[in-house]
Amino acid sequence: MKSHVLPAAINAEELEWTLASGERVLCYYRAGEGRAVLLLHSINAAPSAYEMSPFFAAASLPRPLYAPDLPGFGRSDRPDRVYSPAFFADAIIDMVRAMACGPVDVIALSTTAEFAARAAGQAPELFNSLTLISPTGFTRRREGASTIGPRVHRVLTLPFLGASLYRALRTRASVRYFLNMGFSGEAPEEMVDYACLTAAQPGASHAPFYFLCGQFFAPDAVGVLYLPLKLPVLVLFDKDPNISFDFLPEVVDARENWRAVRIAETLGLPHFEKPAETRAALLDFWAEAESAR
């Protein structure tokens, strides 16, 4: 598959930010009323801000919306550097500061939920609330995974092996297979098209290889990242073929600032499959959070 010019993932105004680490980040923006919302896509082999595009639909959220391509993905810079949870947490903090609009409401998808929680823990004054859609981190993990990951990464990024592996991951059949796992039916064809294009860009494999080696997951996300949070947190979930929510009930029971809403008959992307229910849950949560202040 050849590299092609990557078009816009979302039909919206485009902003450019430069992070403290030097990376250029492309962000899609739509004006609105009220507190700003930062929309953070997931991490996988071919993610981009396209994953958050349903929130830009005319009947969706009436707020100011910011949806960046995270560094290493989409139309943002994709340098060959070390990608880590700490790097992404710092990037999120830099992006909120670049928004320059006071504490923001964040919606983070899947693995990025852990990065957003880490960022909110480091700079709580910048965050008004967190909404975590099908978040990782609620399954018991092994401490040893953090030491194995770097060794696996060194093997996977050997020139011939790494290139061959990523070429296999970015084939249309492979992209469609993994995207279909997030839908009760089939992934939209436009989504498959865009994922294939973004995975064919120069540097597209750098960040995903850290994800594939398991280096983005905290061994104890519940204890280290989630339970210490003081701000309002909403979890939207149902069934996810890749993760479980074993400890979610315990967290919700243990912390008054946590809420969980099950969006039935979805497989990890409720904002695509059940946009009305997702919107209602978000608006109710934000209204409750504001009234509690």
For the chain, give every domain's residue range: 13-291
Q: Which two tokens stand for residue 60?
A: 């969706």
Average pLDDT over every residue of 7-18: 97
Q: Is the pLDDT of residue 3 over 50?
A: no
Range 13-291 classified under CATH 3.20.20.80:
no
Q: Looking at residue 147, what is its pLDDT?
A: 53
183 band by pLDDT with thresholds 50, 70 and 90: very high
Average pLDDT over every residue of 234-248: 94
Q: Looking at residue 45, what is its pLDDT?
A: 87
60 band by pLDDT with thresholds 50, 70 and 90: confident
Q: Is the pLDDT of residue 1 over 50?
A: no
Q: Which two tokens stand for residue 157?
A: 């990024």
32 band by pLDDT with thresholds 50, 70 and 90: very high
Q: Are 76 and 69 in contact (CB under 8 A)?
A: yes
Average pLDDT of the chain, as a whole number: 90
Q: What is the pTM of this model?
A: 0.92
Q: How far is CA 253 from the centre of its chain?
A: 25
Q: Is the pLDDT of residue 28 over 80?
A: yes
Q: Is the pLDDT of residue 55 over 90?
A: yes
